[in-house]
Chain A
Amino acid sequence: MYGNDFSAPDDATGGGLLGEVEAAEAELRAAAARQRRGAPAPDEDLATYFDEVVGAEQKIEPRDWMPEAYRKTLIRQIAQHAHSEIIGMQPEGNWISRAPSLKRKAILLAKVQDEAGHGLYLYAAAETLGVSRDELVRLLLEGRQKYSSIFNYPTLTWADMGAIGWLVDGAAIVNQVPLCRCSYGPYARAMIRVCKEESFHQRQGYEILHTLAHGTPAQQAMAQDAVDRWWYPSLAMFGPPDGNSTHSAQSMAWKIKRFSNDDLRQRFVDMCVQQADILGLRIPDDDLRWNEERQAYDYTQPDYDELMRVISGDGPCNRERMAHRRAAYNDGAWVREAAAAYAAKRAEQKEKVAA
């Protein structure tokens, strides 16, 4: 698989979530097989029709009528998601050249390659909403669209590759599994594919941390340090608390979103506590403890002011990440122009031959 020989151990990670992805996929197929109600009648109100399709757990497809705000919300969300995959190549790409074994190097290369693939897949999903990838890339480069706050943190040691896999990919999956049931068909289908690969990545990250946590004292310290640095930024990936989340209510009504930020964050914490235990690593939260009444862990909230600072551009690596992306884009301009010129010449030749 992807040119590496890594096989995932049977551990506690990801298994339940992967099961959910598969259930969502089955549901998607079932919804497709169910007779969807026919096209709207000539005199039928399109908004009512849209609500009915969404209400019946059927998928909205690119040619369907949809509220303009629904289209815009989806474009914003899918594009931001795609941008995150592309920018997200950088923090991990930072360690490819220094990966400590050839096997780990191969796995990391394959992972970063998957991320580029996810980016392309998501841009294609966004394009079904009538926007072009070039336009979205332009919005990213101009800083008018965002990407996930998490990628503005630096990868300082090899253990960060483990922490990113375990915590960042873990949080991403918890966030994205419900999106496999999103009301917009192309996004739901993209998420199913993305989640399957992410789940694999999460296991790999977990495995890196597991090896380090059971390695030399220096490796153990490296692993703990990485978890200490990535824990809160990962919790913050779920977004602001429910009270301050601007888009939540409408997104829930449209069945783009299925659970609130805080619900998903709680779910992630509960999942991680058990896994940290197996890893033998400590989650850096003195107030983390089981709450019998809630049947969930109490935990300390991340610093949302910091989250806002990072989102607005003042995180540790925002400037570098954007500069890197812009440089790749600008340095490659002559290559893209050459490819276009070459393609035009070939097309012209074909026409001449045909004429």
Chain B
Amino acid sequence: MIAAQRLAEWTSRAPEMEEDIALTNIALDQLGAARLLLSYAGELEGAGRDEDALAYLRDDREFRNVLLVELPNGDFAVTMAKLFFLAAYQLPLYTALAGCADERLAAIGAKARKESAYHLDHGALWVKRLGDGTEESHRRMQAAVDQVWPYTQELFAADPAAPVDPATLRSAFDETVGPVLTEATLTRPESAWAPGGGRAGVHTEHLSYLLAEMQVLHRAHPGARW
């Protein structure tokens, strides 16, 4: 949901028209997956909240997204670093979910997995292009990787109670990310800093602004249909 909101900010601002379409397309996929997951979460909760109630009427302390997706877009390199790392996590996640015991989750995983594979290809290609492009693009791509990397730690925080324990996805992520960074002539940062808290509703300062914008109209007209 939050990743979709950030990607959609690129609409009509991308470096190329083809990229405008690609980013909007990925935003649409992420939004589609979010709607399925939120609707299902609302049903499981059984309190009558639908996807819109969950998206528009929760405050930032109630959002459970990882910090990575709420970070501002920055330049194109930062956006691509975020996209690439997220997809490298989501592909094995959705693949594992597709085989889980919960039928609804398995169906969502099966659908989202295909989309994630496309997102991963797209992100990896740009990381390589920028990393191994010009001096300027290399500098920016390395800076983006350095900036975003610490936030990938949170993706793999162990949660044995989850349908798929994120800790089990780490090796698949490393196997995907390592060779791409090498080919892109980029170095993997050594930072030990591992910001987290998103899953507990403790976010960066960015999320509240994102939600203020996203929710403003819905909240201004309580109970209205759109």
Contacts and interface: CB of A to CB of B under 8 A. Distances in A.
B93 to A, nearest CB: 20
B208 to A, nearest CB: 14
Interface string B26-63: 01110110110010000000000001100110000000
Contacts of A336: 15-16
Most A CB within 10 A of own CB, among B35, B38, B55, B133: B133
Contact of B11 (A89, A101, A120): A89
A100 interface: yes
Interface residues of A, number: 51
Contacts of B224: 100, 215-216, 218-219
Interface in B56-115: 56, 75-76
Interface stretch (B150-158, B165-173, B196-204, B211-219): B211-219
A112 interface: yes
Contact of B29 (A3, A96, A123, A333): A3
Interface string A6-48: 0000000000000000000000000000000000000000000
A332 interface: yes
A89 B13 CA distance: 10
A232 B226 CA distance: 25
Nearest to B219: A100
A93 B21 contact: no
B129 A109 contact: no
Given A109-B28, A211-B225, A215-B224, A338 B134 contact: yes
Contact of A97 (B8, B15, B19): B8
A328 B15 contact: yes
A336 B27 CA distance: 22
B221 A332 contact: no
A338 B129 contact: yes
B145 interface: no
Given A2-B28, A113-B28, A338 B226 contact: no
A324 interface: yes
B140 interface: yes
Contact of A116 (B24, B51, B225, B226): B24
Interface string A106-132: 100110110011011001000000000
A110 B218 CA distance: 20
Interface residues of B, number: 49
Q: Dominant SS at the B interface? A: helix
A219 to B, nearest CB: 6
Contacts of A215: 224-226
Nearest to A119: B17
B130 interface: yes
B223 to A, nearest CB: 8
A98 B216 contact: yes
Given A101-B226, A102-B31, A334-B134, A116 B20 contact: yes
A117 B21 contact: yes
A324 B14 CA distance: 11
Given A102-B52, A120-B21, A211-B226, A109 B12 contact: no
A353 interface: no
Interface in A254-299: none
Interface in B176-222: 213-214, 216-218, 221
Interface stretch (A61-69, A164-172, A192-200, A339-347): A339-347
Given A97-B9, A120-B18, A112 B24 contact: yes
A345 B25 CA distance: 28
B175 interface: no
B20 A89 contact: yes
A120 B137 contact: no
A81 to B, nearest CB: 15
Contact of B133 (A3, A103, A341): A341
Contacts of A158: 217, 226
Most chain B CB neighbours (cut-off 10 Å) among A113, A208, A215, A324: A113
B226 A100 contact: yes
Contact of A218 (B14, B17, B27, B221): B221
A4 B28 CA distance: 8
Contacts of A337: 133-134, 136-137
A119 B17 CA distance: 8
Contacts of B32: 3-4, 106
27 contacts: A3-B29, A4-B28, A4-B32, A96-B11, A97-B5, A97-B9, A98-B214, A100-B56, A100-B224, A100-B226, A101-B218, A102-B34, A109-B11, A109-B31, A112-B11, A116-B21, A117-B21, A208-B226, A219-B224, A328-B14, A331-B75, A334-B137, A335-B15, A338-B130, A341-B134, A341-B137, A342-B132
Cβ-closest 8 pairs across A and B: A332-B15, A338-B133, A338-B137, A335-B15, A89-B12, A113-B24, A342-B129, A100-B226
Given A96-B11, A324-B12, A342-B130, 15 more contacts: A2-B28, A3-B31, A4-B32, A98-B214, A101-B56, A102-B51, A116-B24, A331-B15, A332-B14, A334-B136, A335-B130, A338-B137, A339-B16, A341-B134, A342-B132
